[in-house]
């Protein structure tokens, strides 16, 4: 009996003396094992919610911040507190995922490249307070398995293993994460590690997480093969994807969950139906269930309310412009990002009018590739909806002396 009491007292001391960081991490559960509820987020008045087309806000969300975009047009459909800083938790793994996919594309690694598992990664797999794919020290695990372990099992151990191999250590990899964040325009984000475990100086926003989610599916369409997977088995241990919305809504195909006690439960989601593709970030909900329910509510509203169109821009704008004093006499122009996409409300598809505004019908060399020469705009019932830039498709250098003199005369006529 005395021996049993001694063990009980010893366990109690371990809990009482646990470092504050690990207590916080215990509630992290990168994919959200815990059903623990966080403090209720303040109610957002409908007037504080921005909706595409100046529509009235349909509802508030039980979350601290949210943002939803049309992934093809880039239009913001719903947003509030989207620039409010908070802990990213396991959403940081999205950047680890991005950098690994980039390394694959650059052929610095292959899907079957065996990654050695260090003691640091293995120790995370022993920690039952965080998500892990149960790596063992000394194993050599294929990159493909680590990617599934990272995005389905939300494995902190997978994040460390990948970062160590790609950059030689987690600190060097974190520097790469922040450098890539700057390149992608994530101006409201700072990473401190590859897995998102809480640390000082770590923050992001709903706005930046939507940007990162969009960059993932745009730059690496194969990313959805991993994030849409519902279960992953490694070493005979099967785990379900922590993004439970995958099991409730067939339109959803990823991307990532996260949870840290001080910020709440996060979900960045990608979904598609018909012509409409969506990326959302719902951050700081009070529970696992709420992040699923509130995200589904937001996505379902968007699918019922909006659609994406791609009208033939050639009917509104000329395919090229005259160039004077150049080595060629014409330069092709087109929408800046290729095929133009516009978001409109359901039922407005037939009311769309596409117009091109071109301040000048000619240019003077030299002309740089990507020079904006006009704007392609969409109106519905006379109301401007959105626009894209028209840009030159190639560079035009100056022509010879005689040609420049002749064009100078033509311009004066």
Q: Considering the candidates 73, 90, 125, 163, report the single residue annotated as catalytic.
A: 90
**Is 154 tagged catalytic?**
yes
Q: Considering the candidates 125, 131, 154, 163, report the single residue annotated as catalytic.
A: 154
**Is 377 tagged catalytic?**
no
How distant, in Å, are the alpha carbons of 323, 329, 373 from that of 360?
11, 15, 7
Residues near 202 by beta carbon (within 8 Å), at least 6 away in sequence: 87, 88, 92, 190, 191, 192, 193, 196
Alpha carbons 109 and 118: distance in angstroms, whole number? 18
Alpha carbons 352 and 350: distance in angstroms, whole number? 6
3-class DSSP state of 74? coil
Both ends of the chain: CA-CA distance in Å? 108
How distant, in Å, are the alpha carbons of 87, 230, 293, 298, 370 from that of 245?
22, 10, 8, 12, 40
Q: Considering the candidates 93, 211, 277, 325, report the single residue annotated as catalytic.
A: 93
Alpha carbons 134 and 126: distance in angstroms, whole number? 7
Burial classification of residue 330, based on how many CB atoms lie within 10 Å of its CB (0-12 exposed, 13-18 middle, 19 or more buried): middle
**Is 90 tagged catalytic?**
yes
Give yes or no for a contact between 343 and 386, defined as CB atoms under 8 angstroms apart. Answer: yes
Strands (E) in 235-371, as ranges, are 237-240, 252-260, 264-273, 276-285, 306-309, 320-324, 330-335, 342-345, 352-357, 362-364
Structure tokens at 349: 């598809």
3-class DSSP state of 121? helix
How distant, in Å, are the alpha carbons of 214, 243, 284 from that of 254?
11, 7, 18
**Active site residues per annotation:** 90, 93, 154
């Amino acid at each position: 009996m005395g021996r049993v009491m001694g063990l009980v007292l010893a366990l109690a001391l371990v809990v009482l003396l646990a470092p504050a960081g690990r207590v916080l991490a215990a509630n992290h559960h990168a994919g959200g094992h815990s059903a623990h509820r966080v403090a209720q987020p303040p109610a957002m008045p409908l007037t504080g919610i921005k909706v595409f087309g100046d529509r009235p806000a349909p509802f508030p969300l039980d979350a601290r911040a949210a943002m939803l975009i049309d992934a093809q047009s880039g239009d913001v459909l719903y947003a509030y507190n989207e620039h409010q800083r908070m802990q990213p938790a396991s959403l940081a793994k999205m950047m680890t995922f991005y950098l690994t996919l980039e390394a694959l594309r650059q052929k610095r690694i292959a899907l079957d490249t065996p990654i050695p598992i260090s003691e640091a990664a293995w120790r995370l797999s022993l920690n039952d307070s965080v998500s892990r794919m149960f790596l063992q020290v000394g194993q050599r695990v294929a990159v493909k398995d680590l990617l599934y372990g990272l995005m389905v099992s939300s494995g902190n151990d997978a994040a460390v293993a990948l970062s160590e191999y790609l950059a030689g250590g987690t600190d060097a990899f974190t520097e790469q994460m922040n450098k890539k964040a700057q390149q992608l325009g994530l101006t409201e984000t700072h990473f401190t590690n590859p897995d998102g475990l809480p640390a000082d100086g770590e923050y992001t926003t709903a706005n930046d997480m939507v940007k990162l989610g969009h960059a993932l599916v745009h730059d690496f369409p194969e990313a959805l093969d991993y994030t849409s997977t519902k279960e992953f088995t490694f070493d005979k241990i099967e785990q379900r994807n922590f993004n439970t919305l995958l099991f409730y809504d067939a339109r959803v195909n990823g991307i990532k969950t996260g949870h840290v006690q001080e910020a709440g439960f996060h979900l960045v989601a990608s979904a598609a139906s018909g012509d409409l593709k969506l990326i959302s970030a719902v951050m700081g909900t009070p529970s696992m269930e709420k992040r699923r329910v509130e995200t589904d509510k937001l996505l379902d509203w968007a699918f019922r309310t909006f659609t994406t169109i791609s009208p033939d821009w050639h009917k509104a704008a000329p395919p090229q412009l005259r160039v004077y004093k150049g080595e060629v006499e014409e330069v092709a122009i087109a929408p800046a990002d290729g095929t133009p996409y516009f978001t409109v409300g359901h039922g407005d598809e037939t009311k769309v009018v596409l117009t091109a505004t071109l301040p000048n019908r000619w240019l003077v060399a030299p002309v740089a590739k990507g020079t904006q020469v006009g704007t392609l705009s969409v109106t519905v019932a006379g109301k401007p909806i959105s626009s894209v830039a028209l840009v030159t498709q190639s560079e035009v250098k100056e022509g010879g002396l005689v040609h420049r003199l002749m064009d100078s005369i033509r311009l004066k006529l």
